[in-house]
Each structure stands twice: as structure tokens, then as C-alpha cells.
Amino acid sequence: MGSLKKYDVIAFDLDGTLSDPAKGLIRGFVYCFKKLGIPYEGEESLRKYIGPSLYDEWQEDFGFTPDEANNAIEIFREYYNIYGWWDNTMYDGIPEMLDSLKKAGKKIVLATSKPLDTAKKVLELFGLTEYFDFIGGATSHQNDRKWQVLNWSLSSVGVDLNDPESLAKCIMIGDRKYDAEGAKMCGVDSMGVFYGHGTREELESSGFTLLVDSVSDISKALI
């Protein structure tokens, strides 16, 4: 499997792309919803909140005001920041895939909507920090949007955000439609991974430039 284009800068999502955070995140959602009295249809129904901005999703789903959404996120983090972030599993083959990209001369960046300090802790937990030229995550109280984090990560490794030729050498890899949407807003290509938390139907309808089944397929497509 080979890509039709040569990409020099590879941006990765974190949750559902490099690691599976489902157990810790869902337990955090349950903690939050029980504390606020929000009904939900079983833990499986909460998987939809893995990946997108909770600030946006919870306003849309529950009619929260911005302040109410922020309050709910803070309650979620009461659990997640202590117990949830390490209740996480790295997908098989991730270090080998990242190593192969580095050896091929690629610049690797992280672009996640997860808070920056937590994202750094997760990479350190799995020993992945060394592979990244830049680590980008949410830094504002309202959770930075995917496209904002992606622009920040790309510009931090020398990508000219106003130059189409520079952007054409970049690709965003993720497992939810939000990754494809963020990449499109930034003017870069995108790769969807089927092993994460997005359904096949979601990924196929989201406008990803490339779609792959496995971790090993990522390096096969990009080298």
C-alpha cells in the first residue's frame, strides 16, 4: 500500500489513534453524569464522546450554556485527571510505526483536543515522547478546536500555513470525523484509521483522503 503523495509532516490524533483511552474516559463520563444527574443509556452509549470537544458536544446534546459545559468538564476532570488518564492502552505496533516514520525522515506532531498537559503524560506513559517533533493539545479553558491545535502543531515545525505547497506535504491521522473536518479546515490531507472509535460508516462519509485498517498500514501508506 503506497500513498500517491509524499508527506513530510505527519500529524496524529491521540485518543483512538495512538492509544485506546475508552476505559478511563467512560468511567470519567459516568462520574460526571451521575454527579450532575444526567441520564444515559449504558456505558457503551458514552463512547460517542471519545474524540470530539466535550465543550461543543455537551452544549449540543444537553443544552448546556458555555459556563455549564465548562462546569461539567471540570467535574469530569475531577475523576479523569487523577484516575482516568492512565487507564489507557497503547495500540499494538505504535512504537514500531512511529520509529519507521522517523527513520524515513518524517516530522511527527501531535494534534489532540485533549488538554496539553494530559496528552504529554499519556505519551510519557507509553514512552512515545521521543518520536514527536512537537506536541500540540488543548490549552484554553474552552478546549481548543481540532483545526486550531492542528494549525499550531504544523506551524511549530515550520509549515507555512499560507502556502498551499507547504500544506500539501502534511497529513492528519485520526479515527473520528472531527479529524477529517479539522484537516480540511487547515487545508491538509487526512487519513482515517478503522481500528479506533469511529464507525466504518462515519469514516467513509467524513471525507478522509485515505483510509487504513491497521497500525502497520499507516507506515505502509506513508513511506
pLDDT at 52: 82
Q: What angle do CA 211, 150, 165 make, to 5 degrees?
A: 75
Q: Contacts from 56-59 at CB under 8 Å and sequence distance 24+?
A: 56/143, 56/145
Characterize the bridge pairing of strands 19-20 and 89-90.
antiparallel
pLDDT at 209: 97
| Residues of the chain where predicted confidence (pLDDT) is lower than 70 | 1-4, 140-143
pLDDT at 3: 54
Domains and CATH numbers, the chain: 9-20+89-222 (3.40.50.1000), 22-84 (1.10.150.240)
3-state secondary structure of 106: coil
pLDDT at 8: 97
pLDDT at 51: 79
Is the full-model pTM beyond 0.85?
yes
Whole-Å CA distances, 182 to 99, 103, 108, 148, 170: 25, 27, 17, 8, 13
pLDDT by residue (tens digit) across 61-94? 999 999 999 999 999 999 999 999 999 999 999 9
Task: Write phi, then psi, for 110 (nearest 5 degrees).
Answer: -105, 140
pLDDT at 53: 83
pLDDT at 184: 98
Question: Among all chains, which residue has been given the C-alpha cell 467513509?
Answer: 204
What sign for the dihedral angle of Cα 210, 175, 223, 119? positive
State the cell numbers at 206: 467524513
pLDDT at 28: 97
pLDDT at 60: 95
